[in-house]
Amino acid sequence: MEVDGRYRKNIQPGLEVEVILKKDQRSGARTPGVVKDILTKSDYHPHGIKVRLEDGQVGRVVY
């Protein structure tokens, strides 16, 4: 099931997602991982909700 990563309500800790890391924003390379923390405070972000993965990497959810 595709999750809309622009809405905070769709993201919760433990969810398997793909994120785009800051260093990969130009290439659009996706990094899979499991959400540890939700860093975006607003309910919506046009580029995706920013999360910290369990391995410590930070990126915006694309799926």
Average pLDDT of the chain is: 93
Q: Is a pLDDT exceeding 60 seen at residue 1?
A: no
- pTM confidence score: 0.89
Lowest mean pLDDT among 3-7, 14-18, 42-46, 52-56: 3-7
The angle at the Cα of 50, spanning 48 to 56, to the nearest 5 degrees, equals: 140
Paired tokens of 41: 């405070």
Q: The domain containing residue 22 runs over which residues?
A: 8-61
Would 1 be classed as within a structural domain? no
Would 25 be classed as within a structural domain? yes
Q: Is a pLDDT exceeding 70 seen at residue 45?
A: yes
Number of structural domains found in the chain? 1
Would 33 be classed as within a structural domain? yes
pLDDT digits (tens, 9 = 90+) for 12-38: 999 999 999 999 999 999 999 999 999
**C-alpha span between 46 and 37 (Å, rounded):** 19
Would 48 be classed as within a structural domain? yes
Query: Considering just the CA atoms, what is the radius of gyration of the chain in Å?
Result: 10
Would 3 be classed as within a structural domain? no
**Which are the contacts of 45, defined by CB distance < 8 A and separation ≥ 6?**
6, 8, 60
For residues 47-54, average pLDDT: 96
